Amino acid sequence: MSFAFRAKRGLVMVRAEVFGPQGSAVVQLALDTGATQTVIDPQTLVSIGYRLSQATSHIQLTTATGTPIAPIIQVSKLESLGMDRRPIHVAAHALPSGTFFDGVLGLDFFRGRVLEIDFQTGQIDLT
């Protein structure tokens, strides 16, 4: 399945849906092949029924603004680019104010799959 993105501008953005015990939320994530861990804004996770106090562990993130410690939350399902991971552990971390997206889709989502990003055509394929 192919998905279009803006190849000539900014970050590669993808639509995703994260599922929780009290519903789901559609989020915009930056596709980040330099991130080993998927990161989602904690307010989004709380809004669909997750409690940050129930973190399975914590991880130290390396960001442009420092090295914060973020709780790891096991979410029941994360869908993006026509595929899903269930369950998947995501880091709950708030991005800096003014950020126009809800987190990053990291390598943990893509492991075991074939990801092709074509910057000439602006197409992403995930199989």
Q: Would you place residue 33 in the very low, low, confident or very high pLDDT band (cuts 50, 70, 90)?
A: very high
User: pTM of the entire structure?
Assistant: 0.93
Q: How far is CA 105 from CA 22, 40, 69, 95, in A?
A: 22, 8, 18, 13
For 44-98, what is each residue's pLDDT tens digit? 999 999 999 989 899 998 776 778 899 999 999 999 999 999 999 999 999 888 8
Residue 8 confidence (pLDDT) above 80: yes
Go through the domains of the chain in sequence order and give each one's CATH number.
2-126 (2.40.70.10)
Q: How far is CA 40 from CA 17, 55, 69, 76, 118, in A?
A: 11, 14, 14, 14, 25
Give pLDDT, residue 1.
79
